[in-house]
Amino acid sequence: MAVPKRKMSRASTRMRRAQWKATPPTLVKAIDSNGKVTYSLPHRAKVVEDSAGTPLFMEYKGRKVADV
């Protein structure tokens, strides 16, 4: 692990920390064949449910990746 050679001043520490900014997640809107609108995160696996709402499996890019 890197160890600093000298103590960092309060001003430098606070100036560095002030550069970090939180951004809201980008959501992708999808409309099902039933007309139901869902929002999901891009590049994440989504849960596939049957008509009763029971989760069946997870899919990513149209392929089954995991069982629920």
For residue 5, the 8-state DSSP code is S
Strand ranges inside the chain, DSSP E: 28-31, 37-40, 46-49, 55-60, 63-67
9-53 pLDDT tens trace: 999 999 999 998 999 989 989 887 788 898 888 888 988 888 898
Cite the DSSP H helix spans in 8-53. Answer: 10-18
Specify the pTM: 0.49
